[in-house]
Amino acid sequence: MADKQYKQLGCLDVQPSGGCGFQVRAETEAELMQLVATHAKQCHKLDSIPPEMAAQVKAAIKTVPVTV
Ligand SMILES: [Zn+2]
């Protein structure tokens, strides 16, 4: 049993009024940004994440310990 550090982000952390309950976890920030981009495309019709939103996303990323 070991604790791993995961990056976690929820749509509500970026857009509190958005009403989207999507939450994602990944091992690295790069992986997380990719998952967020995919979600943004599928659910929010964003073909790409604007730089200001990417900055908001990065600011909202939390590091959480996960026991694996
Ligand atoms: Zn969302």
| Count of domains for the chain | 1
* pLDDT score of 2: 82
**Residues in the chain with pLDDT < 70?**
none
How far apart are the C-alpha atoms of 2 and 53, rounded to whole Å?
33
* pLDDT score of 34: 96
Asked whether the beta carbons of 40 and 46 are under 8 A apart, the reply is: yes
- pTM value is 0.87
Could you tell me the distance, in angstroms and rounded to a whole number, from the CA of residue 67 to the centre of ligand 1? 26
How far apart are the C-alpha atoms of 67 and 2, rounded to whole Å?
6
* pLDDT score of 68: 82
Residue 1: count of CB within 10 angstroms of its CB: 4
Sign of the C-alpha dihedral, residues 34, 42, 58, 68?
A: negative
Domain that holds residue 12: 3-67
Could you tell me the distance, in angstroms and rounded to a whole number, from the CA of residue 45 to the centre of ligand 1? 10
